[in-house]
Amino acid sequence: MYEETYDTDWESLDRDEAMSRAFAIGVAASLGHDHADEYERILAEMDSSYNRSIVELAFEEGKNKGKKKRHESDTGDADDVWSELVDGETVTVERDEVPTGGQNRLPAALDKTELLDRPDADSRDRVSKPDFLEK
């Protein structure tokens, strides 16, 4: 299935293409098809540990969604699961939207978080008296 959908003679991949392929390999793994060499090759193509971790998350999400779809399916047919998750309709996302979950989109675990945002500090706080001296 994977070879029919994706060309394996690639020389380089960007992160989005690597995520898409990793997701598809995860779906294939959930259906009993092993593409470990291709998956390792995709991971090796990523230039940072951050990008590798995103690709790994896409792979895991593909496996999980594949297992879930196969379990939910009436027939459990691998071709139906593959076509629904990988060959499905392409979704266009506006540039300013943050996509989450699914094929060709960031996994929900990578949603933007506000934990790393710094609060706006009042520049006068540095030169003001401490609270205990104000009274």
Domains of the chain, by residue range, sit at 2-133
Residue 94, pLDDT > 60, answer no
Amino acid at 20: S
- Range 21-38 average pLDDT: 88
What pLDDT score was predicted for residue 116?
59
Closest of 27, 55, 30, 28 to residue 43, by C-alpha = 55
Q: Are 2 and 24 in contact (CB under 8 A)?
A: yes
pTM confidence score:
0.61
Structure-block tokens of residue 41: 């090759």
CA distance 96 to 9: 33
What pLDDT does residue 108 have?
Answer: 60
Q: How large is the average pLDDT for residues 81-102?
A: 57
pLDDT for res 106 = 56
Q: For residue 6, count CB atoms less than 10 angstroms from its CB and return exposed for 0-12, middle for 13-18, buried for 19 or more.
A: middle
Of how many residues is the chain composed?
135
pLDDT of residue 65: 86
Task: Determine contact, residues 31/81, Cβ cutoff 8 Å.
Answer: yes
Average pLDDT over residues 10-27: 88
pLDDT > 70? residue 90: no
Q: What is the rounded distance in angstroms from the CA atom of residue 99 to the CA atom of residue 3?
A: 27
